[in-house]
Amino acid sequence: MFAKKPKTVDTNQLNERMEKYFLVKMPDDFFKFWSFCSSLNPLNPKAALHTLDLLLVGPFDVIDGKLKDEVLDSADPASILCYYRFFYDVPEFQTVLRDTKSNFHIGYFRDSPSEMPSMVVSNDPDKSCIINPLGDNIFSGLLAFCEDLKRRRSEKDDKKANAEKLSLKIKAYAEKNDIPLVNNNMKERKKKVVAKTFHGAGIVVPFENDVGYRPLPENEQNLKKLLKKIADMPEEDRQRSKAYESLREIVNLTNLANDECDFGMALELGIDLFCFGEECYHRLVSFTLGTAYELLDRHQFGTIIEAHLANRRNEKLMKFSIKGGSTSA
């Protein structure tokens, strides 16, 4: 019996669909990675990384045919934007791989929806909001994941051996197909980061002649203490408290910064509020991030954050279903 030959992928046509439904286009390495996984498992490329408990998800379901146009066209657009969006995933983060036994996931990170991703990152929402940079593209990112896995596992662990085997396959495929495994783009982005933010990956905004960003008046530690103090109060006492007045002053400063074209300040505050994770800040997240994304001409991210906030739950795992369609994970 002959193995099923993987179907060819029309990247231009697929990217038009990606942008239509997910509001962003996918980079070349995304499509090359599908070809790589098809070479590993022609019958089921999405499960090609099963030995490491990783599954191809999200936009890969469009290539796979699980998310057909008739399903997506009849679905709630908000549910499409939340498809494989985890609790702490900021709009800049787009999941493409997930651990089948936990909420750990890997995805692309881009600073603007009009740009291709600057890096591949990971997050485990059961642990924290921290975003861990892995590599410039999905190949170098997965290679870094494998190297980390090998360091953490014992010699007798099957996953260590599986990670070693996959590392060799990635390197061979990358060399044959001229895919860079160095992480120069990630290093260059790091130089452009104007603020760390709670998730650690930082933010990049246009910044020239000291215009584009100004720091928040509180450092990370003090801001977290302030937000926790407010969140721990009875709901009826929050807005009358001195702590909330302090937060209101910070918000007013971001509004002033916006008036003077320092849009990065509102972006930083909005992301910090979102990453703090408390529902009591969702309206403020919507306001600060919505405003910042609009002023930065990143309105697609504004649409994504609104969809996420409307569907966000206290549990760390989002419900991966397309409402109005007929598919679920």
Can you tell me the distance from the alpha carbon of 301 to that of 92, in angstroms, rounded to the nearest whole number?
Answer: 7
Give the single-character DSSP code of 270.
H
Yes or no: say if 18 and 81 are a contact pair by the CB < 8 Å rule: no
Amino acid at 125: P
Can you tell me the distance from the alpha carbon of 89 to that of 128, in angstroms, rounded to the nearest whole number?
Answer: 11
SS3 232: coil
Can you tell me the distance from the alpha carbon of 304 to that of 264, in angstroms, rounded to the nearest whole number?
Answer: 18
Q: What angle do CA 91, 270, 266 make, to 5 degrees?
A: 115
Yes or no: say if 84 and 57 are a contact pair by the CB < 8 Å rule: yes
User: What are residue 98's DSSP bridge partners?
Assistant: 55, 105
Catalytic site residue 260? yes
Q: Which of 175, 260, 279, 315 is catalytic?
A: 260
Query: Could you give the residue numbers annotated as active site?
Result: 260
